[in-house]
């Protein structure tokens, strides 16, 4: 559908602009990464497990910090992203730090045109799903690139959070439908990693329910091992979230609690 392609191209242009901003932003702490800091959190490390000597495909890798963090743990990594600027930064950082990695510029849906191998592990993380217009071909792509017996792991924002107004400071107020639509939500908001630059950006999001996420995988030969919900998130998704000592954001204890992220692990049959 041409309309979907137009939205995707607009989002690609957005991420091209954001790539250099993010690379310089304290939010991503590239200097800390250069000194050996890992960008992987407790849920990712535990969920994916031991990666030493295993091949790992990272979908929607942005400029590769998570990808390279897996490489530091011994994985043979390939990162994929649709932003050419992000891929260029990732490749340059890999070379600078001497961390072996392959990076491919490709839209997820076009990956079969440029990639022809399978992997022990496929990984995706925060902020991945809402940029995808349709999860059924996404699930098919994961199945295609995962070796039999291999595992897929994702941690991302829980679909629940997208139904609420993320600008109001007066609590959780329902604003959007929970269910998927081919027409994306349109947001005009600051860059999450550099909110102080006083510029807003048009972004197009597609919401996917929990059932859509799970069914897109189980209908393509993946067996669900678990689906877990977490009361934490890595960024300030609502103005009233509070940052805990572990670095994660949470709802204040005085508010009713909802899941802010989910993690899912599935195995290729």
User: What mean pLDDT comes out for the span 26-39?
Assistant: 97
- Write the CB contacts of 133 (distance below 8 Å, at least 6 apart in sequence): 4, 7, 8, 182, 184, 206
Residue 159 DSSP one-character state: G
- pLDDT > 70? residue 30: yes
Which CATH number characterizes residue 123's domain?
3.40.50.150
CA atoms of 106 and 99, how far apart (whole Å): 21
CA atoms of 225 and 205, how far apart (whole Å): 28
Tens of pLDDT, residues 146-163: 999 999 999 999 999 999
80 found inside a domain: yes
170 found inside a domain: no
**Phi/psi of residue 250, nearest 5 degrees:** -140, 160
Tens of pLDDT, residues 179-202: 999 999 999 988 988 877 778 999
175 found inside a domain: no
The tally of domains found in the chain comes to: 1
- Write the CB contacts of 99 (distance below 8 Å, at least 6 apart in sequence): 68, 71, 72, 93
pLDDT of residue 1: 67
169 found inside a domain: no
Tens of pLDDT, residues 70-112: 999 999 999 999 999 999 999 999 999 999 999 999 999 999 9
pLDDT of residue 167: 80
48 found inside a domain: yes
Nearest C-alpha neighbor of 247 from the set 41, 6, 24, 17: 41
131 found inside a domain: yes
* Domain range enclosing 125: 2-159+208-268
């Amino acid at each position: 559908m041409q309309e979907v392609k137009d939205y995707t191209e607009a989002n690609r242009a957005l991420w091209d602009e954001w790539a250099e901003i993010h690379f310089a932003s304290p939010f991503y702490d590239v200097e800390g990464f250069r000194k050996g800091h890992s960008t992987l959190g407790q849920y990712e490390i535990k969920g994916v497990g031991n990666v030493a000597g295993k091949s790992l495909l990272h979908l929607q890798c942005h400029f590769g910090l998570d990808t390279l963090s897996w490489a530091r743990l011994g994985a043979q990594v390939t990162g994929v992203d649709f932003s050419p600027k992000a891929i260029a930064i990732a490749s340059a950082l890999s070379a600078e730090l001497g961390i072996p990695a392959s990076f491919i510029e490709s839209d997820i849906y076009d990956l079969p045109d440029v990639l022809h191998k399978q992997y022990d592990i496929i990984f995706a993380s925060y902020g991945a799903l809402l940029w995808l217009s349709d999860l059924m071909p996404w699930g098919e792509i994961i199945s295609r690139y995962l070796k039999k017996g291999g595992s897929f792991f994702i941690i991302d924002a829980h679909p629940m959070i997208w139904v609420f107004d993320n600008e109001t400071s007066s609590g959780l107020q329902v604003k959007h439908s929970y269910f998927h639509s081919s027409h994306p939500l349109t947001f005009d908001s600051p860059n999450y990693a550099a909110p102080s630059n006083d510029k807003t950006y048009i972004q197009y999001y597609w919401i996917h329910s929990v059932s859509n996420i799970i069914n897109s995988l189980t209908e393509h030969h993946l067996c669900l091992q678990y689906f877990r919900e977490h009361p934490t998130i890595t960024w300030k998704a609502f103005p009233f979230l509070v940052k805990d000592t572990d670095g994660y954001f949470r709802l204040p204890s005085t508010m009713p609690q909802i899941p802010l992220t989910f993690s899912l692990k599935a195995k290729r049959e």
